[in-house]
Every structure is written in structure tokens, then in C-alpha cells.
């Protein structure tokens, strides 16, 4: 976490309520480094967009302070914050040309003609649309319109750019293409980006760090690999990537590890991440790609009997849904690296996984 001297953006004990009773954002403390790409990720209603709108100046905190470069901005109007914004609906002016749309922030700032023209050209070249300046937004594809919106947000050289679900209206292939373009522009410019999305794949692809929101609280703040490999609670484990879960009860603890009884199936060994005592209910969390099919007896600490419920061929891997301990939703991802393994629905199998790939989390 950046200290007071290095935090570029700081939320200090920030709360937000719209009705005076329900807190949409609860005691938010968050520091963001200069040049960082930070994503606020979470389901609808989790508080991520409200947090972004308070930083932009479109919402006012009910309590707490927001600082930009060490200066409070809570009472500063949006146009004085010098922040670039990119929205899902692009917010382009349909009656203006591409050049006129990109020029709008410069016109507001009363920049001279020569400097404005140079900045417009640089911004359009940056998003690879230098030849589209005379067209109108209605003559562009959705992906091109979004890149124009990005050029407009960057043309006045803001130190901070906020993006609110900017790729939500694009199809999957185009969305993935624009994700990489935004990531590369961020790397080239070194501008600080705060990005809001509910798409966990998008967050993993683009971010330096991800703040996972739920119920107005940051559940975990970490780099993408840390969130995926080492979730700290059941919500993060379920929200980031595909995840297997088995419910059980802690029967013994040994420092950082524990043994968990899974009713009707046996005992599993796991890392004791979010459990504190014997007898506590827990959720065992482990990733489908870490599960092995029909392991040699004794080769893994966790081996369970299972039944194949469903087989789905996905080209690079086969997704096997199995029934274990009365649960019909435990998934194995079998890579297609050595050809397709011949399996049959309803076949009896065994599955196994390492202790270090299994995390004992809260059972909520």
C-alpha cells in the first residue's frame, strides 16, 4: 500500500448513502499509485461505480475525504479536477466530426489552434484512427467510437483517466481487442487509470491491481495473480475465475494447515486461510485446472470418488462436471495436450488435488 507521500489518489474513511440509512460505500480506505492501472471489480450494486463517480465529482461523499496528489477534492467541481472520463455509452456528440469531438476538452480549456491540432492528431494516431477525423460518430463501428472516446479522454494530457464499463457494449472478440489497446496505451503513456467493470476476465487481463468490491466493501485488493491463486475469502474465490467448492467441518488444525471432514466423502487436507478453530464450518476452494483425473492411489493427499455428470468438449480442453459428496457441480478441466481422453457420462472415476491448491475459507 502506498504511504501518504506516494499515494496519488487517496480515499480516506469514505462513505456514501443516498437515503440516509443504507451505506452504498462503507468506510472505504484506498490508496492508488501514480501510473497504476487499478480496476474496481464487483457485481452490480457493490459500490464500485459510486466510488468512481465520487472521484469524478458527480457524487459527493457522505463522510470521509478524497485526495488527489495530496489535495482534498471533495468540494471541487468535476471540470476543475482535470480528469479524463470514458463511459460505456461513449458520450460522443453525434452532430460533431471525430476531430470536433476530440477537440472539445481543448476548446473548453481555450488552447490555441496550432497546439489543439497537434494534440488532436497525436490522440487520433494513438488509437489508430488518424484518417477518420472528418467522419461523424454514426459512420463508425462501436469499437471505433469507443477508441474516439478514449482519444478525447487523453487529448488534454490528464494525469488520471476514469473508465466506467467502457467495453460493455462491444462483442467478445472486439472487447478483447480493445482491452489490449487500452493496456498498451496505458503502458506507453504512464497515465493513472481507474477502471470499473463486472467482468473478471477483463480485470485480470488489464490491471496492475484489482479491488474486488461486494456490499460496499473491498473484499480483497491485490495483483491479478494473487487474487486468482490466493483468494482470501469465499466471495473472492467464487467471483474470480471458475472455482470448485466443497463444504465441510474442520476436524484438526496444524499451524497453517487443517483437516476438513467432507460429509459422506472423507477427509481433505487444506491451507487454513479463513478458519480459526476445530469444529468450524468451512468451504474448501480449489480451481478446476488443478484437479487431476484418476490419480495413482497415494500420490495426492486429497483423493475422492466421483461420477461423471457431464462432458463438454471445448477444443483446448474437456470440461468434466462431476458429482462428489452429493454435489453435482465439481468441475475438472482436462487439457487436450495429448489428444482427447475417452470418457463416458455416468462413469465412476476418482479425482485428486494437492493440499497447497486447496484453501479452507469462510462457509458463507
Query: What average pLDDT does the structure give for the chain?
Result: 92
Residue with more model confidence, 17 or 189: 17
User: How far is 347 from 350, CA to CA, in rounded Å?
Assistant: 10
| 27 pLDDT above the threshold of 50 | yes
Cα distance between residue 176 and residue 205, in whole Å? 9
* The predicted structure's pLDDT at residue 5: 55
- Res 224 pLDDT > 50: yes
Cβ atoms < 10 Å from Cβ of 277: 9
Which 3 state secondary structure label does DSSP give 62? coil
Would you place residue 4 in the very low, low, confident or very high pLDDT band (cuts 50, 70, 90)?
Answer: very low
Give residue-wise pLDDT tens across range 100-125: 999 999 988 888 889 999 999 999 99
Give me the pLDDT at residue 97, please.
95
Residues 6+ apart with CB under 8 A from 101: 92, 93, 137, 148, 152
| Cell numbers that stand for 345 in this block | 457420462
Q: How many CB atoms lie within 10 A of CB 209?
A: 17
Lateral strand order in the sheet of 209-214: 83-87, 160-164, 192-197, 37-41, 209-214, 217-222
Model's pTM, two decimal places? 0.90
Q: What is the pLDDT of residues 292-310, one digit of tens each?
A: 999 999 999 999 999 999 9
More confident residue, 61 or 171: 61
Give residue limits of the domains in the chain. 7-234, 242-361
Q: Specify which residues 361 forms β-bridges with.
A: 283
Q: In angstroms, how far is CA 197 from the centroid of its own chain?
A: 6
**pLDDT tens sequence across 245-287:** 999 999 999 999 999 999 888 999 999 999 999 999 999 999 9
Question: What is the CATH code for 7-234?
Answer: 3.40.50.300
Measured at the alpha carbon of residue 159, what is the angle toward residues 155 and 162, in degrees to the nearest 5? 80
Stretch 343-356: mean pLDDT: 94
* Dihedral sign, Cα of residue 262, residue 267, residue 273, residue 279: positive
Fold (CATH) for 242-361? OB fold (Dihydrolipoamide Acetyltransferase, E2P) (2.40.50)
Amino acid at each position: 500500500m502506498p504511504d501518504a507521500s506516494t499515494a496519488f489518489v487517496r480515499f480516506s474513511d469514505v462513505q456514501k448513502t443516498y437515503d440516509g440509512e443504507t451505506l452504498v460505500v462503507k468506510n472505504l480506505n484506498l490508496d492508488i499509485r501514480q501510473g497504476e492501472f487499478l480496476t474496481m471489480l464487483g457485481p452490480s450494486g457493490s459500490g464500485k461505480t459510486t466510488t468512481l463517480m465520487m472521484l469524478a465529482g458527480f457524487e459527493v461523499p457522505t463522510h470521509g475525504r478524497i485526495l488527489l496528489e495530496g489535495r482534498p477534492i471533495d468540494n471541487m467541481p468535476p471540470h476543475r479536477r482535470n480528469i479524463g472520463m470514458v463511459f460505456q455509452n461513449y458520450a460522443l456528440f453525434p452532430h460533431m466530426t471525430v476531430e470536433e469531438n476530440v477537440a472539445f476538452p481543448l476548446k473548453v480549456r481555450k488552447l490555441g489552434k496550432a497546439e489543439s491540432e497537434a494534440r488532436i492528431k497525436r490522440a487520433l494516431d494513438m488509437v489508430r484512427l488518424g484518417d477518420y477525423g472528418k467522419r461523424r460518430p454514426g459512420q463508425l463501428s462501436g469499437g471505433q467510437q469507443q477508441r474516439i472516446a478514449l482519444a478525447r479522454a487523453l487529448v488534454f494530457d490528464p494525469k488520471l483517466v476514469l473508465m466506467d464499463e467502457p467495453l460493455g457494449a462491444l462483442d467478445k472478440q472486439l472487447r478483447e481487442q480493445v482491452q489490449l489497446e487500452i493496456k498498451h496505451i496505458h503502458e506507453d503513456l504512464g497515465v493513472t487509470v481507474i477502471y470499473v467493470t463486472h467482468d473478471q476476465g477483463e480485470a485480470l487481463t488489464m490491471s496492475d491491481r484489482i479491488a474486488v468490491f461486494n456490499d460496499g466493501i473491498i473484499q480483497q485488493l491485490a495483483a491479478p495473480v494473487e487474487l486468482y491463486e490466493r483468494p482470501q475469502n469465499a466471495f473472492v474465490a467464487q467471483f474470480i475465475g471458475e472455482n470448485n467448492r466443497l463444504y465441510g467441518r474442520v476436524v484438526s488444525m496444524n499451524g497453517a494447515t487443517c483437516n476438513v471432514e467432507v460429509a459422506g466423502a472423507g477427509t481433505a487436507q487444506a491451507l487454513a486461510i479463513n478458519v480459526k478453530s476445530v469444529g468450524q464450518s468451512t468451504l474448501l476452494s480449489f480451481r478446476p485446472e488443478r484437479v487431476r483425473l484418476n490419480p495413482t492411489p497415494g500420490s495426492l493427499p486429497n483423493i475422492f470418488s466421483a461420477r461423471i455428470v457431464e462432458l463438454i468438449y471445448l477444443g483446448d480442453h474437456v470440461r468434466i462436471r462431476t458429482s462428489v459428496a452429493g454435489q453435482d457441480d465439481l468441475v475438472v478441466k482436462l487439457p487436450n495436450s495429448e489428444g482427447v481422453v475417452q470418457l463416458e457420462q455416468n462413469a465412476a472415476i476418482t479425482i485428486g488435488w494437492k493440499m497447497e491448491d486447496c484453501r479452507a475459507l469462510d462457509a458463507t
